[in-house]
Structure 1
Protein backbone atom coordinates (compact mmCIF):
# COMPACT_ATOMS: atom_id res chain seq x y z
CA UNK A 1 0.00 0.00 0.00
CA UNK A 2 1.11 3.52 -0.69
CA UNK A 3 1.93 5.51 2.39
CA UNK A 4 0.17 8.43 0.69
CA UNK A 5 -2.99 7.04 -0.88
CA UNK A 6 -3.64 3.44 0.12
CA UNK A 7 -3.87 0.52 -2.30
CA UNK A 8 -3.17 0.73 -6.01
CA UNK A 9 -6.56 0.29 -7.66
CA UNK A 10 -5.71 0.44 -11.37
CA UNK A 11 -2.88 -0.44 -13.77
CA UNK A 12 -2.87 1.71 -16.92
CA UNK A 13 -1.36 0.31 -20.12
CA UNK A 14 -0.70 2.46 -23.19
CA UNK A 15 -1.10 0.32 -26.30
CA UNK A 16 -0.85 0.78 -30.07
CA UNK A 17 -3.93 -1.32 -30.88
CA UNK A 18 -6.63 -1.39 -28.21
CA UNK A 19 -8.73 -4.04 -29.96
CA UNK A 20 -5.75 -6.43 -30.13
CA UNK A 21 -4.89 -5.65 -26.51
CA UNK A 22 -8.44 -6.44 -25.34
CA UNK A 23 -8.34 -9.70 -27.31
CA UNK A 24 -5.04 -10.67 -25.66
CA UNK A 25 -6.24 -9.82 -22.17
CA UNK A 26 -9.48 -11.78 -22.49
CA UNK A 27 -8.22 -14.79 -24.48
CA UNK A 28 -4.74 -15.22 -22.96
CA UNK A 29 -5.04 -13.60 -19.53
CA UNK A 30 -8.68 -14.52 -18.90
CA UNK A 31 -9.55 -10.96 -17.83
CA UNK A 32 -12.86 -9.37 -18.74
CA UNK A 33 -15.36 -8.34 -19.72
CA UNK A 34 -13.94 -5.17 -21.22
CA UNK A 35 -15.95 -1.96 -21.19
CA UNK A 36 -14.79 -0.06 -24.27
CA UNK A 37 -15.14 3.60 -25.18
CA UNK A 38 -13.60 4.61 -28.55
CA UNK A 39 -13.56 8.28 -27.50
CA UNK A 40 -13.55 9.11 -23.81
CA UNK A 41 -15.42 12.37 -23.08
CA UNK A 42 -12.63 14.17 -21.20
CA UNK A 43 -13.49 17.66 -20.00
CA UNK A 44 -11.16 20.39 -18.73
CA UNK A 45 -8.13 18.48 -20.02
CA UNK A 46 -4.76 20.11 -19.32
CA UNK A 47 -1.17 19.14 -20.00
CA UNK A 48 1.50 21.30 -18.36
CA UNK A 49 -1.31 23.70 -17.47
CA UNK A 50 -2.41 24.21 -21.09
CA UNK A 51 -5.78 23.07 -22.47
CA UNK A 52 -5.90 20.60 -25.37
CA UNK A 53 -8.52 18.50 -27.13
CA UNK A 54 -7.54 14.86 -26.68
CA UNK A 55 -8.96 11.77 -28.36
CA UNK A 56 -8.25 8.62 -26.39
CA UNK A 57 -9.85 5.21 -26.66
CA UNK A 58 -10.09 3.38 -23.34
CA UNK A 59 -11.07 -0.12 -22.23
CA UNK A 60 -11.55 -1.12 -18.60
CA UNK A 61 -11.85 -4.52 -16.92
CA UNK A 62 -11.22 -5.89 -13.46
CA UNK A 63 -9.22 -8.80 -12.15
CA UNK A 64 -10.50 -9.06 -8.60
CA UNK A 65 -10.35 -5.62 -6.99
CA UNK A 66 -7.64 -4.43 -9.43
CA UNK A 67 -8.80 -2.60 -12.55
CA UNK A 68 -6.82 -2.82 -15.79
CA UNK A 69 -7.04 0.15 -18.16
CA UNK A 70 -5.99 -0.01 -21.81
CA UNK A 71 -5.39 3.34 -23.53
CA UNK A 72 -4.86 4.09 -27.21
CA UNK A 73 -4.20 7.69 -28.22
CA UNK A 74 -5.96 8.67 -31.42
CA UNK A 75 -4.65 12.19 -32.02
CA UNK A 76 -1.39 14.03 -31.48
CA UNK A 77 -2.49 16.23 -28.54
CA UNK A 78 0.19 16.53 -25.87
CA UNK A 79 -0.22 13.93 -23.14
CA UNK A 80 1.83 11.72 -20.88
CA UNK A 81 0.62 8.78 -22.98
CA UNK A 82 2.07 10.36 -26.13
CA UNK A 83 5.32 11.11 -24.26
CA UNK A 84 5.49 7.46 -23.17
CA UNK A 85 5.10 6.16 -26.72
CA UNK A 86 7.55 8.70 -28.15
CA UNK A 87 10.14 7.54 -25.62
CA UNK A 88 9.86 4.10 -27.24
CA UNK A 89 7.72 2.50 -24.54
CA UNK A 90 4.47 0.58 -24.59
CA UNK A 91 2.74 -1.30 -21.81
CA UNK A 92 2.36 -0.25 -18.19
CA UNK A 93 2.43 3.56 -18.02
CA UNK A 94 0.74 4.41 -14.72
CA UNK A 95 -0.75 3.17 -11.50
CA UNK A 96 -3.88 4.82 -10.14
CA UNK A 97 -5.08 5.44 -6.65
CA UNK A 98 -8.79 6.07 -6.19
CA UNK A 99 -10.21 8.63 -3.84
CA UNK A 100 -13.47 10.01 -2.57
CA UNK A 101 -11.55 12.91 -0.96
CA UNK A 102 -9.93 14.31 -4.11
CA UNK A 103 -9.10 17.83 -2.90
CA UNK A 104 -7.52 16.63 0.35
CA UNK A 105 -5.51 13.87 -1.36
CA UNK A 106 -4.35 16.24 -4.10
CA UNK A 107 -3.19 18.74 -1.47
CA UNK A 108 -1.36 15.95 0.40
CA UNK A 109 0.47 14.86 -2.76
CA UNK A 110 1.42 18.41 -3.65
CA UNK A 111 2.72 18.93 -0.09
CA UNK A 112 4.94 15.87 -0.69
CA UNK A 113 6.44 17.59 -3.74
CA UNK A 114 4.36 15.98 -6.48
CA UNK A 115 3.54 18.33 -9.36
CA UNK A 116 0.53 18.09 -11.66
CA UNK A 117 1.48 17.20 -15.23
CA UNK A 118 -1.83 16.11 -16.81
CA UNK A 119 -5.39 16.49 -15.55
CA UNK A 120 -9.04 16.51 -16.55
CA UNK A 121 -12.47 15.22 -15.70
CA UNK A 122 -14.65 12.34 -16.91
CA UNK A 123 -18.23 12.97 -15.83
CA UNK A 124 -19.40 14.78 -12.71
CA UNK A 125 -17.05 14.15 -9.78
CA UNK A 126 -14.66 12.29 -12.06
CA UNK A 127 -11.53 14.42 -11.79
CA UNK A 128 -8.09 12.93 -12.37
CA UNK A 129 -4.50 14.12 -12.19
CA UNK A 130 -1.22 12.54 -13.23
CA UNK A 131 1.94 13.58 -11.41
CA UNK A 132 5.33 14.19 -13.01
CA UNK A 133 7.58 12.16 -10.68
CA UNK A 134 8.07 9.06 -12.83
CA UNK A 135 11.22 7.20 -11.76
CA UNK A 136 11.16 4.69 -14.63
CA UNK A 137 8.57 3.58 -17.22
CA UNK A 138 5.32 2.45 -15.65
CA UNK A 139 5.59 4.45 -12.43
CA UNK A 140 3.51 7.54 -13.19
CA UNK A 141 0.99 8.08 -10.39
CA UNK A 142 -2.61 8.98 -11.16
CA UNK A 143 -5.05 10.22 -8.53
CA UNK A 144 -8.61 9.47 -9.67
CA UNK A 145 -11.81 10.73 -8.08
CA UNK A 146 -14.35 7.90 -7.96
CA UNK A 147 -17.60 9.37 -6.74
CA UNK A 148 -20.59 10.15 -8.91
CA UNK A 149 -21.05 8.52 -12.33
CA UNK A 150 -17.42 7.39 -12.72
CA UNK A 151 -17.55 5.67 -9.34
CA UNK A 152 -20.77 3.91 -10.31
CA UNK A 153 -19.23 2.87 -13.65
CA UNK A 154 -16.26 1.34 -11.82
CA UNK A 155 -18.70 -0.57 -9.56
CA UNK A 156 -20.48 -1.93 -12.66
CA UNK A 157 -17.17 -3.04 -14.20
CA UNK A 158 -16.03 -4.79 -11.01
CA UNK A 159 -19.39 -6.57 -10.59
CA UNK A 160 -19.37 -7.71 -14.23
CA UNK A 161 -15.91 -9.23 -13.78
CA UNK A 162 -17.00 -11.13 -10.66
CA UNK A 163 -19.79 -12.86 -12.60
CA UNK A 164 -18.08 -13.11 -16.00
CA UNK A 165 -18.30 -16.50 -17.74
CA UNK A 166 -16.11 -15.54 -20.71
CA UNK A 167 -18.99 -14.56 -22.99
CA UNK A 168 -19.50 -11.10 -24.49
CA UNK A 169 -15.88 -10.07 -23.81
CA UNK A 170 -16.14 -6.48 -25.15
CA UNK A 171 -19.03 -4.24 -24.13
CA UNK A 172 -19.75 -0.55 -24.68
CA UNK A 173 -19.35 1.97 -21.88
CA UNK A 174 -22.66 2.87 -20.32
CA UNK A 175 -23.72 6.50 -20.78
CA UNK A 176 -22.18 8.32 -17.79
CA UNK A 177 -24.97 10.90 -17.81
CA UNK A 178 -27.40 8.09 -16.92
CA UNK A 179 -25.42 6.58 -14.05
Structure 2
Protein backbone atom coordinates (compact mmCIF):
# COMPACT_ATOMS: atom_id res chain seq x y z
CA UNK A 1 0.00 0.00 0.00
CA UNK A 2 1.26 3.44 -0.89
CA UNK A 3 1.09 5.47 2.36
CA UNK A 4 0.68 8.71 0.39
CA UNK A 5 -2.23 7.41 -1.76
CA UNK A 6 -4.73 9.03 0.61
CA UNK A 7 -2.65 12.04 1.57
CA UNK A 8 -3.16 15.74 1.57
CA UNK A 9 -1.39 17.95 -0.91
CA UNK A 10 2.08 19.22 0.00
CA UNK A 11 0.67 22.75 0.23
CA UNK A 12 -1.37 21.65 3.27
CA UNK A 13 1.80 20.34 4.95
CA UNK A 14 3.63 23.56 4.08
CA UNK A 15 0.81 25.66 5.56
CA UNK A 16 0.82 23.62 8.77
CA UNK A 17 4.62 23.79 8.96
CA UNK A 18 4.43 27.58 8.70
CA UNK A 19 1.77 27.71 11.43
CA UNK A 20 3.97 25.55 13.67
CA UNK A 21 6.55 28.31 13.66
CA UNK A 22 4.09 30.87 14.99
CA UNK A 23 1.15 29.25 16.78
CA UNK A 24 0.80 25.73 18.11
CA UNK A 25 -2.93 26.17 18.67
CA UNK A 26 -3.52 27.32 15.08
CA UNK A 27 -1.30 24.52 13.77
CA UNK A 28 -3.22 21.94 15.82
CA UNK A 29 -6.52 23.29 14.51
CA UNK A 30 -5.22 23.04 10.94
CA UNK A 31 -3.93 19.52 11.57
CA UNK A 32 -7.23 18.41 13.08
CA UNK A 33 -9.06 19.83 10.07
CA UNK A 34 -6.66 18.06 7.69
CA UNK A 35 -6.89 14.75 9.60
CA UNK A 36 -10.69 14.92 9.28
CA UNK A 37 -10.19 14.98 5.49
CA UNK A 38 -7.14 12.69 5.23
CA UNK A 39 -7.14 10.42 8.31
CA UNK A 40 -4.54 8.08 6.80
CA UNK A 41 -1.90 10.74 6.12
CA UNK A 42 0.92 9.73 8.44
CA UNK A 43 2.64 13.08 8.07
CA UNK A 44 -0.29 14.81 9.77
CA UNK A 45 -0.12 12.45 12.74
CA UNK A 46 3.64 13.03 12.96
CA UNK A 47 3.17 16.79 13.05
CA UNK A 48 0.41 16.42 15.64
CA UNK A 49 2.73 14.32 17.80
CA UNK A 50 5.54 16.85 17.42
CA UNK A 51 3.32 19.70 18.59
CA UNK A 52 1.98 17.73 21.55
CA UNK A 53 5.55 16.81 22.49
CA UNK A 54 6.50 20.48 22.30
CA UNK A 55 3.59 21.30 24.62
CA UNK A 56 4.68 18.55 27.07
CA UNK A 57 1.40 16.74 26.41
CA UNK A 58 3.25 13.45 26.20
CA UNK A 59 0.31 11.04 26.27
CA UNK A 60 -1.25 12.85 23.31
CA UNK A 61 2.13 12.95 21.55
CA UNK A 62 2.54 9.21 22.12
CA UNK A 63 -0.95 8.56 20.74
CA UNK A 64 -0.36 10.66 17.60
CA UNK A 65 3.06 9.16 16.89
CA UNK A 66 1.76 5.65 17.57
CA UNK A 67 -1.04 6.31 15.09
CA UNK A 68 1.50 7.37 12.44
CA UNK A 69 3.53 4.20 13.05
CA UNK A 70 0.39 2.03 12.99
CA UNK A 71 -0.63 3.54 9.64
CA UNK A 72 2.84 3.06 8.18
CA UNK A 73 5.24 0.90 10.22
CA UNK A 74 8.05 1.89 7.82
CA UNK A 75 7.68 5.64 8.49
CA UNK A 76 11.16 5.98 9.98
CA UNK A 77 10.86 9.51 11.37
CA UNK A 78 7.59 8.77 13.21
CA UNK A 79 9.06 5.57 14.64
CA UNK A 80 12.26 7.33 15.70
CA UNK A 81 10.35 10.20 17.35
CA UNK A 82 8.13 7.72 19.18
CA UNK A 83 11.22 5.86 20.41
CA UNK A 84 12.78 9.16 21.50
CA UNK A 85 9.58 10.08 23.35
CA UNK A 86 9.53 6.70 25.11
CA UNK A 87 13.13 7.23 26.24
CA UNK A 88 12.42 10.72 27.52
CA UNK A 89 9.26 9.51 29.26
CA UNK A 90 11.15 6.82 31.16
CA UNK A 91 9.85 3.83 29.18
CA UNK A 92 13.05 2.14 27.98
CA UNK A 93 11.41 -1.22 27.24
CA UNK A 94 8.82 0.45 25.00
CA UNK A 95 11.59 2.45 23.33
CA UNK A 96 13.49 -0.75 22.53
CA UNK A 97 10.40 -2.29 20.92
CA UNK A 98 9.74 0.83 18.85
CA UNK A 99 13.35 1.39 17.76
CA UNK A 100 14.31 -2.22 16.96
CA UNK A 101 12.75 -2.28 13.45
CA UNK A 102 14.71 0.87 12.57
CA UNK A 103 17.97 -0.81 13.54
CA UNK A 104 17.28 -3.30 10.74
CA UNK A 105 17.17 -0.68 7.94
CA UNK A 106 19.92 -0.46 5.29
CA UNK A 107 23.43 -0.82 6.68
CA UNK A 108 24.58 2.77 6.17
CA UNK A 109 21.22 4.47 6.66
CA UNK A 110 21.47 7.32 9.19
CA UNK A 111 18.19 6.52 10.93
CA UNK A 112 19.28 2.89 11.38
CA UNK A 113 22.54 4.01 12.92
CA UNK A 114 20.78 6.48 15.23
CA UNK A 115 18.33 3.79 16.35
CA UNK A 116 21.15 1.29 16.91
CA UNK A 117 22.97 3.92 18.96
CA UNK A 118 19.94 4.59 21.15
CA UNK A 119 19.35 0.85 21.59
CA UNK A 120 22.95 0.40 22.74
CA UNK A 121 22.59 3.41 25.02
CA UNK A 122 19.48 1.87 26.60
CA UNK A 123 21.48 -1.30 27.16
CA UNK A 124 24.33 0.67 28.76
CA UNK A 125 26.80 -0.01 25.95
CA UNK A 126 28.09 3.56 25.84
CA UNK A 127 31.10 3.02 23.60
CA UNK A 128 29.19 1.30 20.79
CA UNK A 129 26.26 3.71 21.24
CA UNK A 130 28.58 6.65 20.59
CA UNK A 131 30.10 4.92 17.55
CA UNK A 132 26.68 4.28 16.00
CA UNK A 133 25.50 7.84 16.70
CA UNK A 134 28.65 9.40 15.21
CA UNK A 135 28.37 7.15 12.15
CA UNK A 136 24.73 8.23 11.77
CA UNK A 137 25.75 11.87 11.71
CA UNK A 138 28.00 11.08 8.73
CA UNK A 139 25.59 8.79 6.88
CA UNK A 140 22.96 9.31 4.20
CA UNK A 141 20.27 10.28 4.02
CA UNK A 142 20.96 13.08 6.45
CA UNK A 143 18.40 14.05 9.09
CA UNK A 144 19.37 17.61 10.04
CA UNK A 145 16.32 17.92 12.32
CA UNK A 146 17.75 15.13 14.48
CA UNK A 147 21.35 16.35 14.65
CA UNK A 148 20.96 18.62 17.72
CA UNK A 149 19.33 15.77 19.64
CA UNK A 150 22.04 13.30 18.59
CA UNK A 151 24.77 15.78 19.58
CA UNK A 152 23.15 16.21 22.99
CA UNK A 153 23.03 12.42 23.44
CA UNK A 154 26.72 12.22 22.51
CA UNK A 155 27.48 14.91 25.07
CA UNK A 156 25.54 12.92 27.66
CA UNK A 157 27.51 9.78 26.81
CA UNK A 158 30.74 11.77 27.12
CA UNK A 159 29.65 13.12 30.49
CA UNK A 160 28.71 9.62 31.72
CA UNK A 161 32.08 8.29 30.60
CA UNK A 162 33.89 11.19 32.25
CA UNK A 163 34.87 12.84 28.99
CA UNK A 164 33.10 14.90 26.42
CA UNK A 165 33.00 13.92 22.77
CA UNK A 166 35.72 15.97 21.06
CA UNK A 167 33.56 16.22 17.93
CA UNK A 168 30.75 17.93 19.84
CA UNK A 169 30.90 21.54 20.94
CA UNK A 170 30.54 21.83 24.72
CA UNK A 171 28.44 24.93 24.13
CA UNK A 172 25.85 23.06 22.04
CA UNK A 173 22.53 23.16 23.79
CA UNK A 174 19.48 21.55 22.28
CA UNK A 175 16.15 23.23 22.58
CA UNK A 176 13.87 20.19 22.71
CA UNK A 177 10.89 22.52 22.55
CA UNK A 178 11.98 23.84 19.14
CA UNK A 179 12.49 20.44 17.52
CA UNK A 180 9.04 20.47 15.94
CA UNK A 181 9.93 23.62 14.02
CA UNK A 182 12.44 21.62 12.00
CA UNK A 183 9.97 18.99 10.85
CA UNK A 184 8.58 21.13 8.06
CA UNK A 185 11.88 20.85 6.18
CA UNK A 186 11.94 17.11 6.83
CA UNK A 187 8.45 16.67 5.43
CA UNK A 188 9.32 18.60 2.28
CA UNK A 189 12.29 16.35 1.54
CA UNK A 190 11.39 12.89 2.88
CA UNK A 191 8.73 10.20 2.99
Which of the five TM-score ranges fits, normalised by the shorter chain? under 0.3
Query: Higher strand fraction: Structure 1 or Structure 2?
Result: 1
User: TM-score if structure 2 supplies the norm length?
Assistant: 0.25
Query: Higher helix fraction: Structure 1 or Structure 2?
Result: 2
User: TM-score if structure 1 supplies the norm length?
Assistant: 0.26
Whose Rg is larger? Answer: 2
